[in-house]
Structure 1
Amino acid sequence: MFDARIVADQVSPAAKPKIRVLFYTDLIGFSGNGGFSLGILRDLILANQPFFAQFQIDLINRHEGGHAAKKLTSAVLGGYEQVWFFGLLQSNMPGEPENELVDAEVAALRTWMDAGGGVLITGDHSNPRPPGADPSLPDYLNLGRALGHRVPRAGELRVWNDRPDSSIEFSHNTHQPDPWGSDINNPIPNDLDPYPQELILRKRLGRPHPLFQGRRGPITIFPDHMHEGQLLIPERLPVEVWPTGRGGQPKPEIVAHGTDKRNGQVYGVSSVYDGAAAGVGRIVADATWHHYFDLNLWGFEKDGEVLDKLTEFYVNLTLWLTPKPVKLEVNAELLYWLSRSLSVRAVLPEGFRVPGITAAGLVREVAGQGVLDDLVWPLEGTPSVPEELLLGAVVKESVAALGDGDFEAFDTAGVVERGLRAGAEEYAAELRTALGDVEGLSEFISQGIR
């Protein structure tokens, strides 16, 4: 995905930090099921892992070996940095009393997520309540509800107990029409064609969320589907559930929308919660697992533009959900590489800004904006100092610390702290100079004009 030529051989001799991802399902596997499978997703991510990290992807089927034989426990969760939920079942059923997460699993997830574990929560549309299910449940239950609705915080970000369903009247249809005039209300051939849906991206300061920032521009496409689910932003965000950090309370937000091709209505397809800003795990919620399934990826040309953009999104997602301790290891790898880059070394005498701008461009090229954000400011909240000043100062500290090339002795925390302090002090000095330049300017203007 990135141009390996600019990486060259200037990489750390240390082992790459490992980012371990668990796909947790109740039916879906890596193959089979008529394309309701995750093999292509896994292969795309593993084939495009960056030079500064090593990805591991495992899949656990909750019911493999017997009903609820493979529950989520603290021991299981401790082996992963993030969990991606791909559930199909709707609820507990007679003879299947633990299709839904039990209290012990919810408690284990809460502890793990509070410690930084990242979560992707998915599902799909709703179907009528299955015959035999608890009659007190709503008439419509979402596909994936059994695994998803009790996941702490993440479970609140999707509609589980109501429409949209799979009917033409009450569904969310994002099928991009094909040139042959195929009925967009039919899954085949539309799920299999090479035409993705176009996204509407929410932007902040002119940029989409880092998940949707590609190396060559915004990632504005997703696989399409005839009946997607619906995202939800909770009306109440009590701090005991959605904690507050030093920069305030981070709130979930929808960052990408899709359009119903029948009526033009716009729906959220991807939302994020930056829990890292409050010291807990990040969350991404998706309107449907069809954005990840083989069935919806088969139609895109291998190594083609569409699949390349989707791969960038999947890798961005993996990196963005990674907890802070591993990100600090990633930062160490990147700082080593930047300190060895001749492009950076050539401009080191130019203060902080120029090396910072150069380094930022390199990181965007090989890692994306999300990784750059966490490298520039590995703390809560958003920095008030320009990123080029902070990054330039940290890179200069890295070059000094790695003067003899001893990566084993590289104190990442110390280097970053000294660099951030130096960047902040440089910015303060710039502001003081600017303030001095304008002191007395009002009187000077008045005297000159009169």
Structure 2
Amino acid sequence: MFDARIVADQVDTATRPKIRILFYTDLVGLSGNNGFALGILRELIVGNQPFFAQFEVELINRHEGGHAVNKLTADVLGRYEQVWFFGLLQCNMPGEPENELVDAEVAALRSWMDAGGGVFVSGDHSNPRPAGADPSLPDYLNLGRALGHRIPRAGELRVWNDRPDSSVEFSHNTHQPDPWGSDIDMPIPNDLDPYPQELILRKRAGRPHALFQGRRGPITVFPDHMHEGQLLIPERYPEDVWPTGRTGQPKPEIVARGTDKRNGQVYGVSSVYDGAAAGVGRIVADSTWHHYFDLNLWGFQKGGEVLDRLTEYYVNLVLWLTPKPVKQEVNTRLLHWLSHSLSVRAVLPEGFRVPGITAAGLVREVGGQGVLDDLVRPLEGAPRVPEDLLLGAVVKESVAALSGGDVEAFDTVGVVERGLRAGTEQYAAELRAALDELDGMDEFISQGLR
């Protein structure tokens, strides 16, 4: 995904920190199932991992080998930094009493997520309640509800018990019309064609969320589907569920939307919860697993622009969900690399800004804006000091720390702390100088205009 020539002779790939991802399912595997499979997604993630981390992806089917024999336990969760949920089943059924997560699993997930574990949750549209299911359940139940609706915090970010469904009247359809005029209410050929939906991205300070920032601009494409599910933003945030951090209580938000070409309605397709700001794990929720299944990726040319952009998004998703301890290992790798980069060292005498601008460009190239944010803005809610000042100061501290040659003694947290302090002090000095220049401006204006 990045140009390996800019890092090839400066890193040791054997010592990369591992980011272990679990695909947890109840029906789908890595192949087969008429394209309801995750093999291409896994290949894109593992085949495009950055030089500073090693991605490992495993799939566990809850029911492979017997009903609910592969439950989520503390031991299972402890083997992974992230869990991505791809459920299809709707609810418990006669003879299948544990399609849904049981209390012990919910408790294990809560502890693991509170310790920083990242969660991706998806589902799809709703179908009528299955025959034989508990009649007290709602009339419509979401595909994926069985695995998804009890996940702490994440389960509150999707509609599980109501429409939209798969009917033309009540569906959320994001199919992009093709040139030959196929009926966009039909799955084939639309799910298989090379025409993705165009996303509407939430932007702040002119930038989309880190998930949708690519190396060459915003990632504005997603696979499309004719009946997606619906995201949900909770109405209440009790602190025993949604904790508060140093600067307040982080809340989920929708960061990407899709458009129904039949009527112009806009639907949320991706939402995020930055739990790291409160010391817990991050969450991403998606309106449908069709944005990840083989069926909806087959139509995009390998090596083509659309699949490359989607790959950037999938890698961004892995990196953004990664817990803080592993991010610190990632930062160590990045700082070692930046400290030895001739592009950076050539401008190192130029204060903080110039080496910071150079280093920021390199980090975006190999890891994206989210990785850069986690390096120079590890303190959620801190004042917005320009990132070039912060990174330039951090890199200077890193070069100084490594100048003695003792790599084992390198203290990443200490280097970042000293760099952030130096960059902040420099910014404060610049602001004070700017204020001094404005001293007496009122009198100057009055005299100059009269």
TM-score by length of 2: 0.98
CA distance in 2, matches of 1:433, 1:176: 53
Where 1:188 maps in the other structure, the secondary structure is coil
Consecutive unaligned residues of structure 2, counting only runs of 5 or more, are none
Q: CA RMSD in A?
A: 1.2
- Deviation per CA, 1:322-378, whole angstroms, max 9, x where unpaired? 000000000010001100111111111111111111110111111100001001112
Shift of 1:404: 3.6
Give the aligned partner of residue 39 of structure 1: 39
Report deviation, 1:430: 1.5
Asked whether the 8 Å contact 1:117–1:280 carries over to 2, the reply is: yes
Letter in 2 for 1:304: G
- Give the Cα separation in 2 of the matches to 1:143 and 1:191: 18
Does the Cα contact within 8 Å between 1:210 and 1:370 map onto a contact in 2?
yes
Structure 1 unaligned runs (5+)?
A: none
Find the counterpart in structure 2 of residue 395 from structure 1.
395
Taking structure 1 as reference, are residues 197 and 382 closer, same or farther at Cα in structure 2, changes over 3 Å only? farther
| Code of the aligned partner of 1:365 | E
Deviations along 1:277-317, one digit per CA (max 9) or x if unpaired, are 11111100000000000000011111111110100000000
Aligned-residue offset at 1:9: 1.1
- Structure 1 runs of 4+ aligned residues shifted over 6 Å read none
Q: Which SS does the other structure have where 1:28 is aligned? A: coil
Contact 1:14 1:407 in 2 (8 A): no
Rounded Cα–Cα distance in structure 1 between residues aligned with 2:263 and 2:272 = 26
Deviations 1:363-404 (A, max 9, x none): 111110000100111222244211111111000000001114
Distance 2:39 2:381 in 1: 36
Which residue is equivalent to 2:334?
334
Q: CA deviation at 1:55?
A: 0.2
Q: Deviations over 1:147-177 (max 9, x none)?
A: 0000000000000000000111111111111
What's the counterpart of residue 3 of structure 1? 3
Equivalence for 1:359: 359
Match of 1:146 in 2: 146
Give 3-state SS (helix, strand or coil) of 1:306's partner. helix
Deviation at 1:448, TM superposition (A): 4.6
* Match of residue 53 from structure 1: 53
Quote the Cα distance in structure 1 between the aligned partners of 2:12 and 2:423.
25
Residue in structure 1 matched with residue 80 of structure 2 by the alignment = 80
Alpha-carbon distance between aligned partners in 2 of 1:382 and 1:292, rounded to the nearest angstrom? 35
Following TM superposition, by how much is the alpha carbon of 1:442 offset from its aligned partner in structure 2, in angstroms?
Answer: 2.5
Distance 2:204 2:137 in 1: 40
Provide the C-alpha distance between the structure 2 equivalents of 1:28 and 1:14, rounded to a whole number of angstroms.
32
Corresponding residue number in structure 2 for 1:181: 181
User: What SS does structure 2 have at the residue aligned with 1:24?
Assistant: strand
Per-residue deviation, 1:449: 4.3
The question of whether the paired residues in 2 share the 8 Å contact of 1:13 and 1:407 is answered with no
Shifted more, 438-447 versus 344-353: the winner is 438-447
- CA offsets per residue over residues 31-83 of structure 1, 9 Å max, x none? 11111000000000000000000000000110111111010011111110000
Percent sequence identity over matched residues?
A: 85
**Using the alignment, how far apart are the partners of 1:361 and 1:14 within structure 2?**
25
Aligned match of 2:289: 289
**2:17 equivalent in structure 1:** 17
- How far 1:432 moved relative to its partner? 1.9
**Cα displacement string for residues 255-287 of structure 1 (whole angstroms, at most 9, x for unaligned residues):** 111111211111000011111111111100000
**More deviation in 8-17 or 57-66?**
8-17
Contact 1:168 1:185 in 2 (8 A): yes
- Whether the aligned pair in 1 keeps the contact of 2:13 and 2:52 (CA below 8 Å) is no
Task: Give the counterpart letter for 1:190 in structure 2.
Answer: N
The answer (yes or no) to whether the contact 1:12–1:337 under 8 Å persists in 2 is no
Aligned residue-pair number: 450
Give the TM-score of the pair, scaled to structure 1. Answer: 0.98
Q: Quote the offset at 1:7 in angstroms.
A: 1.6
Q: Distance in 1 between matches of 2:47 and 2:406?
A: 30
Q: Which residue pairs with 1:71 in the alignment?
A: 71
| Correspondence for 1:255 | 255
Is the CA contact 2:39–2:294 (under 8 Å) kept in the aligned structure 1?
Answer: yes
